[in-house]
């Protein structure tokens, strides 16, 4: 399964929102142990956000 984190900016009411893909990751197994981010993924996400 693929996951995508997006930033959505709404300029004003009624305007089309602007979407920006921030980070994507995938998981083969969706068990509780594998749902969160790995350390490497979380570091990449933090670097992207900064």
pLDDT along the chain (50 residues), means of 10: 91 88 87 82 91
Q: What is the pLDDT of residue 47?
A: 92
- Report pLDDT for 38: 87
pLDDT of residue 17: 92
Read out DSSP for 1-36? -EEEEEEEE--STTSPPEEEEEEEEE-S--SGGGSS
Q: Which residues pair with 46 in a beta bridge?
A: none
pLDDT at 13: 84
């Amino acid at each position: 399964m693929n996951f995508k984190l997006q930033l959505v900016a709404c300029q004003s009411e009624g305007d089309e929102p602007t979407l920006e893909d921030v980070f994507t990751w995938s998981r083969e197994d969706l068990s509780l142990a594998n749902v969160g981010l790995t350390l490497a993924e979380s570091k990449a996400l933090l670097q992207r956000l900064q």
